Amino acid sequence: MANILITGASDGLGRALASELAGAGHQLIVHGRDPGRLAGVAQETGAVAIRADLSSLDEVRGLAAQVADHAARLDVLVNNAGVGFGAPGAGRELSRDGYELRFAVNYLAPYLLTRLLLPALRRSGSARVVNVASAGQRPVDLDDLMMQREYDGVEAYRRSKLALIAHTFDLADELAGTGVTANCLHPASLMPTTMVRESRYGTIDSLEQGLHATLRLVTDPDLDGVTGRYFNGTQPARALDQAHDQAFRARLRERTEALLLARQSP
């Protein structure tokens, strides 16, 4: 029986994953932003529920602190919460810290949350970090991380997911030999979730396909010790070249740490 934290667990893929893992007897901590939906999934699964708005770095820090209070040891962290493309024609949105919203929620939040929870993950001895990414990736412009020059919601989403994948590879290298693995995946394409409906794109794959692929990274014993991989569904795949570029990753990490430091409470 594992201690598992799932972010974005009050809807869509995260909720389906919570239901499946609870049914298998795992101890869950579920995160969400909407208190009503979060209470519902907690009641269904018997999980500990923690509400936080991941567009606020202070609330990410608060989430990590509450998780640490509930579980000294964490066996799996699933960074699933995210912001999609947005409605067609929607303008540039900012996080509560003044950062571009998709970059903040889809990348900065899981980056910070994972770093804060590393002590609990290390205590497991064989923990897994699973980052829910996307096959829709675009190169990140390090000179315009906040997309102030030109903005498009789809482009912003895809850049944020590329950054998350690059971070996953970086994290895997950093944690080599510690027993903590880090992998990421594109679970399925345009599943029937709230964020896809909001974007008004048609659906392609089923929620069950995405659930199966994600559950595999969380529980499959064949993946013990496997780290630093990107999967498209259940198949190993190669991310966009920039995510594999160590020089780019070092610069991204430096910029990320500076952004986090700039919004750190005294």
Which has the closest alpha carbon to 16: 3, 30, 2, 27?
30
Residues 13-21 have a mean pLDDT of 95
Catalytic residue among 111, 157, 201, 230: 157
Predicted confidence at residue 175, as pLDDT, reads 97
Residue 37: domain span: 3-262
What lies within 8 Å, CB to CB, of 71 at 6+ separation is 3, 5, 27, 29, 120
Per-residue H/E/C for 154-175: HHHHHHHHHHHHHHHHHHHHHC
Instruction: Identify the band that residue 90 occupies on the pLDDT scale cut at 50, 70 and 90.
Output: confident
Instruction: Identify the band that residue 86 occupies on the pLDDT scale cut at 50, 70 and 90.
Output: confident
CA distance 76 to 6: 8
Predicted confidence at residue 203, as pLDDT, reads 58
User: Among this protein's residues, is 151 annotated catalytic?
Assistant: no
CA distance 102 to 154: 10
Which has the closest alpha carbon to 151: 81, 82, 101?
101
Instruction: Identify the band that residue 84 occupies on the pLDDT scale cut at 50, 70 and 90.
Output: confident
235-244 tens-digit pLDDT: 999 999 999 9
Report the domain count for the chain: 1
CATH number for the domain spanning 238: value is: 3.40.50.720
206-235 tens-digit pLDDT: 778 889 999 999 999 999 999 999 999 999
166-201 tens-digit pLDDT: 999 999 999 999 999 999 999 956 555 666 556 556
Instruction: Reply yes or no on whether the pLDDT at 54 is more than 90.
Output: yes
Predicted confidence at residue 1, as pLDDT, reads 80
At residue 194's C-alpha, the angle toward residues 131 and 56, to 5°, is: 55
CA distance 112 to 134: 19
CA distance 202 to 223: 33
Predicted confidence at residue 71, as pLDDT, reads 93
